Amino acid sequence: MHVDRRQMLQLAGVAATLPAWGSIASAQTFPSRPVHIVLGFPPGGSSDVIGRMLAASLAERLRQPFVFDNRPGAGSNIATEWVAKSAPDGYTLLWATSANAINATLYHNLNFNFVHDFASVAGVFEIPNVMEVHPSLPIKSVPEFIAYAKANPGKINFASGGIGSTSHMAGELFKFMTGVDIRHVPYRGSAPALIDLLGGQVQAMFDLMPASIGYIRAGKLRALAVTTATASPALPDLPTVAQFVPGFEVSTWNGVSAPAGTPKDVVDQLNQGINAGLADPAIKARLANLGATEISGSPADFAKLVEVETEKWAKVVKFAHVQAD
């Protein structure tokens, strides 16, 4: 078939527009089927509760089911690998947590790279940890805790929900930044750790606020400070650890990530839907009830958080010689 010069130019013009038309088409058709959001922990926790609320909000806004899947195991690595190897089309998403940033260094043989193999979609919320002690300990502030620990090296045992958990890493970061000698006692989950703290078998913990706030208000635990950079509205009179240990900051954060290579227009559409959901009064009220703060923003904002957190925990894991079970 003979094609003259004019036809060649027309064909070239059409070809040049194909990427743009492809992008527009994907934005117009996404989502055209159910979207799965995968969490690497069992049902019932804060991540699961808020994740399901946000999934319902996205389903309403984008007019397709958003299915929230729990795939627990290996500290959330099973779920993360599953999503990393999924098609980069926006239909399989990861409910990312601070555990992913910690695991990047804690585990040495992962089949994925959390920073490079994922596209950040949106931050969702962060929850403070609370630095708390059993009331029998003669300590009422962070400076008193540091002084007591230095005068009694190895005498304070701090509990955690397990090796590599946020409650564990918060304690290791505190040791790293203050030079105190306190002993880590890992449990299989935060609940049994909290029970032993309440019973006085261990003396301290850097626990998630939702789990401890009732015991703090009842006087069964003594809160010394929150671990976030700013005070928490849920315990507004409590100082931050950073007021006494400059630069100290720990939170348990959640967000949404997609496999690397997911089209930008799909990422942007999901980001807009998530931010709109976070503005919903019902979700805002639920976050406030948990003592959580929304961290809505652009994909670039969440990508920066992921990068900074991954680098921070890499330093702490190496300093403390932390190894996964």
What are the pLDDT digits (tens) for 88-98?
Answer: 999 999 999 99
State the pLDDT at residue 11. 45
What are the distances in angstroms from CA 35 to CA 55, 65, 258, 266, 298?
A: 9, 6, 11, 12, 20
Convert the pLDDT of each residue in 256-301 to its tens digit.
Answer: 999 999 999 999 999 999 999 999 999 999 898 888 999 989 999 9
Same fold, 23-127+251-320 and 129-243: yes
Band (28; pLDDT cuts 50, 70, 90): low
pLDDT at 6: 55
- Domain assignments of the chain as residue spans, ordered by start: 23-127+251-320, 129-243
pLDDT number for residue 168:
96
Q: Model confidence at 14, in pLDDT bands (50, 70, 90)?
A: very low
Among left, alpha and beta (phi > 0; psi -120 to 50; other), residue 239 is: beta
- Identify any residues that bridge with 128 across adjacent strands, giving them in sequence order: 251
Architecture of the domain delimited by 23-127+251-320: 3-Layer(aba) Sandwich (3.40)
Whether 202 shows a pLDDT value over 60: the answer reads yes
In the structure, what pLDDT confidence band is assigned to residue 46 with cuts at 50, 70 and 90?
A: confident
Find the Cα–Cα–Cα–Cα dihedral 178, 182, 185, 190, rounded to 10°.
Answer: -40
pLDDT at 110: 95
Instruction: Work out the average pLDDT over 188-217.
Output: 94
What is the mean pLDDT of the segment spanning 142-170? 96
pLDDT at 53 exceeding the cut of 90: yes
Question: What is the predicted pLDDT for the residue at 32?
Answer: 97
Residue 45 pLDDT class (50, 70, 90 cuts): confident
How confident is the model at residue 289, as a pLDDT?
85
**Tokens representing 211?**
């789990």
| Homologous superfamily (CATH) for 129-243 | Periplasmic binding protein-like II (3.40.190.10)
Q: pTM of the prediction?
A: 0.86
Closest CA to 76 of 165, 195, 179: 165
Q: What's the mean pLDDT in 234-256? A: 96
